[in-house]
Amino acid sequence: MDPLAPLETLFDAGRGDELPLPRELAALYGPLRFPLREGRSRVIGNFVTTLDGVASLSAPGLSGGGPISGSNPHDRMVMGLLRSVADAVIVGAGTLRSVPHHLWTAEHIFPALEGPYRRLRAALGKSDSPLNVIVTARGEIDPELPVFRSGRVEVLLLTTPEGARRAREGGLPPSVRIGEVEHSGNGERIGARAILSAIGPLRKGAILLVEGGPRLMGDFFAGRCLDELFLTIAPQVAGRDGSDERPGFVSGVRFAPEHPLWGTLEGAKRAGSHLFLRYRFASEE
Ligand SMILES: NC(=O)c1ccc[n+]([C@@H]2O[C@H](COP(=O)([O-])OP(=O)(O)OC[C@H]3O[C@@H](n4cnc5c(N)ncnc54)[C@H](OP(=O)(O)O)[C@@H]3O)[C@@H](O)[C@H]2O)c1
């Protein structure tokens, strides 16, 4: 693969402490800062959508982020960077089902930068890989998937008591921790606050990365639990004709016009015609 060109920084609000990026990552991304407050983790999200806001084509074999971003290497590089600073990556079972062979590690999404990603984790004093947290109400998951079997990531399955029973009966390996959380009263959903508390005590300044999908992301916005969103805009128009769902990065919950959620631009970068935006939201965590 040709070496990546650095992202062009269009705007950077420059808040927070600068993380010790190895020189390869600093050259590609520029400084990466997070306001890391004591006694509290920072919850960030990462998504890619088309110009018309589509986050998933919802078609067999085409439902992951690749067809949305055009398998853009800069998008994968940024995903890897965010995973390499994360203590945990949180995904819903729908996302796991759409990319069943995935592991939520930096090197899995962008192997070319494995060395720098690992050095960054070491400099931050973090374990080799972020905890992979899978959220499911039903607990109907395939226990043979690599995320559960590879031995390369620690996994926490967060589910309802009924889902936990189903998952145990399904034959998950004993290395997978199962966290039982009562659902929130909103159907079978587990509230975002309950998800965060079930992940357990975290080191000072921990970063939790929510990679969706849209329903899980909707629950994090609904719980006012998301501090920041890293949003890649891919320069394609996917369209919608009603024959499939084609969600944006939030589904299952609505905010506007009753309770609109407005963000504040923290950063904007560019690689070719892809935009890499960073928005801050007022979380109540
Ligand atoms: N463009 C992007 O950046 C991006 C990122 C991520 C995903 N995606 C795409 O989005 C699509 C999936 O969308 P989705 O909305 O179905 O994704 P999702 O939120 O990952 O999956 C929904 C499922 O996850 C579980 N879940 C999510 N939130 C839950 C909660 N609060 N409590 C309990 N269970 C919860 C439930 O699983 P059970 O049914 O097992 O109970 C639910 O049916 C896929 O095509 C995926 O590739 C795109």
Expressed in angstroms and rounded, the spacing between residue 94 Cα and the centre of ligand 1 is 4
Could you read off the pLDDT of 58-67 as tens digits, one per residue?
888 887 889 9
Protein residue whose Cα sits closest to atom 21 of ligand 1: 94
For residue range 182-194, what is the model confidence (pLDDT) as tens digits? 776 666 889 999 9
Domain ranges of the chain: 67-237+265-285
Instruction: Compute the distance between CA of residue 191 and CA of residue 46 in angstroms, rounded to an integer.
Output: 19
Would the pLDDT of 36 be above 90? no
- pLDDT, one tens digit per residue, over 259-269 is 999 999 999 99
Can you give the pLDDT at residue 202? Answer: 78
Kindly report, residue by residue over 138-163, the tens digit of the pLDDT: 999 999 999 999 999 999 999 999 99
Distance 201 CA to ligand 1 centre (A): 25
Q: Which two tokens stand for residue 118?
A: 């690992």
Flag whether pLDDT at 285 surpasses 60. Answer: no
What is the Å distance from ligand 1's center to 48 Cα? Answer: 14
Quickly state the pLDDT bin for 164 (edges 50, 70, 90).
very high
Residues 6 or more apart in contact with residue 153 via CB below 8 angstroms: 103, 104, 105, 129, 130, 131, 132, 147
Classify each residue of 223-249 as buried b or exposed e, where b means 16 or more C-beta atoms within 10 Å of its C-beta.
Answer: bebbbbbbbbbbebebeeeeeeebbbb
Q: What is the pLDDT of residues 203-238, one digit of tens each?
A: 778 999 999 999 999 999 999 999 999 999 999 999
Q: 47 pLDDT band (50/70/90 cuts)?
A: very high
Question: pTM of this prediction?
Answer: 0.97
Pocket residues: Cβ below 6 A from ligand 1:
47-48, 55-56, 58, 63-65, 68, 91-95, 98, 135-138, 140, 189-190, 211-216, 219, 247, 251
pLDDT of residue 200: 81
Q: Tokens representing 10?
A: 């269009």
* pLDDT tens-digit readout, 100-110: 999 999 999 99
* Residue to mutate, 49, 90, 98, 145, ligand 1, most ligand atoms under 8 Å from C-beta: 98
Half-sphere exposure (Cβ direction) of 181: Cα atoms closer than 13 Å: 27
Q: Does the domain made of 67-237+265-285 have the CATH classification 3.40.430.10?
A: yes
Residues 264-275: what's their mean pLDDT? 98
Q: What is the mean pLDDT of residues 267-275?
A: 98
Torsional class of 102: left (φ above 0), alpha (ψ -120 to 50), beta (otherwise):
beta
- H-state helical runs in the chain: 23-29, 66-69, 73-85, 93-98, 106-109, 114-123, 146-149, 161-169, 192-199, 214-222
